[in-house]
Copies of this chain bind each other. A is one copy, B any other.
Amino acid sequence: MATVAIVGASGYAGQETLDRVLTHPALELYALGSDSLAGEAAHALDPRLGRNGWSRIPRFITNGAALSCGADVTFVCLSHREAAELVPPSRGVVIDLSGAHRSAEPSVYPSWYGFEHPHPHGLELWSYGLPEVSPPSGRLIANPGCYATAALLALAPIADEIARDGVVVDAKSGMTGAGRSPAASSHAGVVLENVTPYRVGEHQHAPEIASLLGFPVTLVPHLLPVRRGLLATCFVRSLGVDLRAVLEDHYATSHVVTVLPEGVVPDLARVQQTDGAEIGVFEDRLTGGVIVICALDNLGKGAAGQAIQNVNLLYGLDETAGLRLAGVLV
């Protein structure tokens, strides 16, 4: 059993990571970090953590203490800025679920994240871990953004087969993607009966996607009146190849990503609360363009599930160990 520390366990991504760790066959929870809950019992976060077999869960400690506790695997579930500040532990696997280490290029941070990176020289030590596209390597792993995951699952396998100009990603996300801190934009009075485009043409996942694809795309994210789940509708033009065949081939053996049969659209309901993703491929009757749609759960494959999947790969475990992939819930 590898020991696990979760830094920032009281946010959405932290709580979801905790969920996966608690039932993982090869991971053992060792430290639960949260500056706001330090000293409290685990069930201060959620009464479910005080029930049944979970009475052995450790109390919350500070994020600093969790980071330096010597765990085999450390999940960092902090804001971009906070995660950028940290000095990673000198041993063990570190999975950063924030955007603080996704680009090796320091200039990306002031330009797209709004802050100078405090540790620019360490950036090249991190690898980008998107298992189906860019498998993790080394011990410091930058876990991809939720929009980037959906766009790259749809586009990376076909990147060489499509026109590189004019690629569009219109993405729609549930509200847990915005993090747990209250803000005017996440107030239910604004979100309900609404759909809100934001950071139009300037979201930080755009250069993340471009970097992996090798060419830029136009990304417009929208917030949905939905708790969890994300849909990326991607618009491309084929250079001649059958893009559905390429995608089916790429994901033929995956237990995480499914290419749906012709005519079936991806459905949030089927990926919510799971770590899987669904992809649908459609041709436009008028223009001949191709539409590739990817659905996933922003907190599952878009965050915590992918973090666990990265750990599984690094440890040589079954890729799906501890993941939520079963079930046919309504």
Contacts and interface: CB of A to CB of B under 8 A. Distances in A.
Interface of A: 12, 15-16, 18-19, 22-23, 45-49, 51-52, 165-166, 168, 170, 172, 174-176, 178, 180, 182-184, 186-198, 200-202, 206-207, 210, 216-220, 222, 224-229, 231, 233, 235, 237, 255, 258, 260-261, 264-270, 272-273, 278, 280, 282-287, 289, 291, 293, 299, 325-330
Given A47-B278, A48-B328, 5 more contacts: A15-B328, A47-B264, A188-B188, A196-B265, A197-B231
B224 A286 contact: no
Contact of A293 (B197, B229, B235): B197
Given A183-B182, A197-B233, A329-B16, A289 B192 contact: no
Contact of A233 (B222, B225, B266, B273): B222
A49 B16 CA distance: 25
A12 B330 contact: yes
A297 to B, nearest CB: 10
Contacts of A260: 47
B330 A193 contact: no
Nearest to A13: B330
A217 B286 contact: yes
A23 B325 CA distance: 12
A267 B194 contact: yes
A110 B141 CA distance: 53
The 7 closest A-B pairs by CB, nearest first: A182-B182, A201-B284, A170-B170, A188-B191, A216-B286, A175-B188, A166-B166
Contacts of A23: 326-327
Contact of A184 (B182, B269, B278, B285): B182
Copies of this chain per assembly: 4
B237 A194 contact: no
B198 A265 contact: yes
The residue among A48, A261, A268 with the most chain B CB atoms within 10 A of its own CB is A48
A195 B231 contact: yes
A238 B175 CA distance: 33
Contact of A291 (B51, B220, B233): B220
Contacts of A22: 326-328
Given A220-B291, A293-B197, A330 B189 contact: yes
The residue among A52, A201, A231, A264 with the most chain B CB atoms within 10 A of its own CB is A201
Given A328-B46, A329-B273, A330-B15, A226 B193 contact: yes
A50 to B, nearest CB: 8
Nearest to A201: B284
Contact of A285 (B45, B202, B264): B202
The residue among A197, A210, A267, A328 with the most chain B CB atoms within 10 A of its own CB is A328
A109 to B, nearest CB: 15
Contact of A218 (B18, B191, B196, B235): B235
A12 B218 CA distance: 35
A226 B225 contact: yes
Given A226-B193, A291-B200, A299-B330, A270 B175 contact: no
